[in-house]
Amino acid sequence: MSELAVPKPEPEAKQASLWKDAFHTMRRRPDVIIALVILLFVFAMAAFPALFTDKSPTRCIGREARQRPDTWFRGEHPLGTDAFGCDFAATIVHGTRPTIVLALTVIVLAVLIGLVLGMLAGYYGGWLDAVISRMLDVFIVVPLLLGAILLLSLFRGRGSSGNVIETVAPAAIALTIFGWMEFCRYVRAATIETKNLDYVVAARCLGAKDRRIMFRHILPNAIIPVTAVVPTTIGAIIVTESALAVLGIGVQPPATSWGVLLSNGTQWAGGGYIYLFGLPLLLLVLTVFAFATFGDALRDALDPKLR
C-alpha cells in the first residue's frame, strides 16, 4: 500500500540462493567436512580401485595366507593377507565397487517403490490403501532370509561374468523386495498428514490436479522423514548382504564386497586374525557415519521449515 515506505534494496544484500545458503551453512561444520572426505575416499575406491592398490584381489598364494598386517602398514601386504593368501588391501579396495553399487541400487529402488506405493495409499485411501497396506504387512511378516532362500533357488549356480551389475543383481533384487516397506510406511503416514493441510486444500482451490498436488506439495514433505532413515538403511543393506553371502546369494564370486568380507572375517576374528573382520567393519561404520552426517546436514541446510 502507498502508505508503506518502500525500503531501498541494498545492492550487497542480494538474496542468496537456497543452494548457496546451504553451502555456506554446511561449510562451517567440521563433521560435515570429515564426512565429505570419507565419502569422497569411498567413492574414489569404487570408481578407481587401481589408484589405491596395484595388486589383483584374485592373485592368491596359499603359503602367504593369514599374514598379519605390518605394524606400520608397509611391505608387500600392508593390510596382511586373508585366509586364502590374497592381498587384503586389494580385496577391500576391489570389494568397494560392488558394495556401493549394491547399496545405492537397493536404496534407490526401495525408496522409489516405497514413495509411489506410500503416496498412492495415503492420498487416495479406500480400497487402494487397504490393498497396499495388507501387501506391506505380508512382506514384513515374511522373514528376509526365507524370502531370500526362495530367490536364491532362482539364481544359484550362475557364476558372474565380472560385470558389476550382474554381480550384485541377485542380492539387489532380494534386498529391494524386502526393503521397501519401511519407506512406504513413512511416506504413507506423511502423505495422510500432509494432504489435509491448508496449503494442499488451497492448491486444490486453485485448480491443481491430483498428480500436481502429489508431486509438488505432498512429495517434498513426505520425503523428509525418509531422508532421515536412508543413511542408516544403507549400512543395514551392506550388513544384510553379508548374511546373504553366507547363503551364497550375496555378491557372486570371484567378485567380493564388504558384506562378503564381513561374513568371511567372522570365522577368523576369534582366532587372532581380528583385522579380517575389523577392517571391513571399520570401513562400513565410517561410511554409514559419513552418509548419515552428510544427509542430516543437507536436510538441515535445505529445509526452509527448519530455519
Partner 1 sequence: MADTIRVAGDTLPGADMNASLLEVDGLRVDFTVRRKRIPAVRGASFTLDQGTTLAIVGESGSGKSVTSQAIMGILDSPPGHITGGEVRLRGVDLLQQDEETKRTVRANHIAMVFQDALSALNPLWSVGFQIGELYRVHRGTSRKDAKQKAIELLDLVGIPDAKNRIGHYPHQFSGGMRQRVMIAMALALDPEVLIADEPTTALDVTVQAQIMRLLKKIQQERNMGLILITHDLGVVADVADDVAVMYAGEIVEQASIHDTFARPAHPYTKALLRAIPRVDTVGRELEVIRGLPPNPASLPSGCPFHPRCWAVEPKKCSSEVPPFEPVADDHRSRCHFAKEVYRDER
Report the interface residues with partner 1, using CB under 8 A: 1-2, 4-7, 9, 14-15, 17, 197-199, 201-209, 212, 216-217, 220-221, 303-305, 307
Shortest distance, position 198 Cβ to partner 1, whole Å: 4
| Residue nearer to partner 1 on the CB measure, 63 or 209 | 209
Shortest distance, position 210 Cβ to partner 1, whole Å: 10
| Residue nearer to partner 1 on the CB measure, 221 or 242 | 221
Spatial contact of 99 and 110, defined as CB atoms under 8 Å apart = no
284 CB contacts (<8 Å, ≥6 apart)? 235, 238, 239, 258, 262
| Residue nearer to partner 1 on the CB measure, 189 or 239 | 189
| Residue nearer to partner 1 on the CB measure, 19 or 73 | 19
Q: How many Cβ atoms from other residues are within 10 Å of residue 247's Cβ? A: 16
| Residue nearer to partner 1 on the CB measure, 224 or 269 | 224
| Residue nearer to partner 1 on the CB measure, 279 or 301 | 301
Shortest distance, position 125 Cβ to partner 1, whole Å: 11
Shortest distance, position 233 Cβ to partner 1, whole Å: 23
Q: Which residues of 218-233 are buried (b: 16+ CB within 10 A; e: fewer)?
A: bbebbbeebbebbbeb
Q: What is the distance between the alpha carbons of residues 260 and 280, in angstroms, rounded to a whole number? A: 10
3-state helix/strand/coil string of 245-299: HHHCCCCCCCCCCHHHHHHHHHHHHCCCCCHHHHHHHHHHHHHHHHHHHHHHHHH
Shortest distance, position 171 Cβ to partner 1, whole Å: 35
Residue 306 DSSP code: G
Shortest distance, position 199 Cβ to partner 1, whole Å: 5
Q: How many CA atoms lie within 13 A of 189 on its CB side?
A: 8
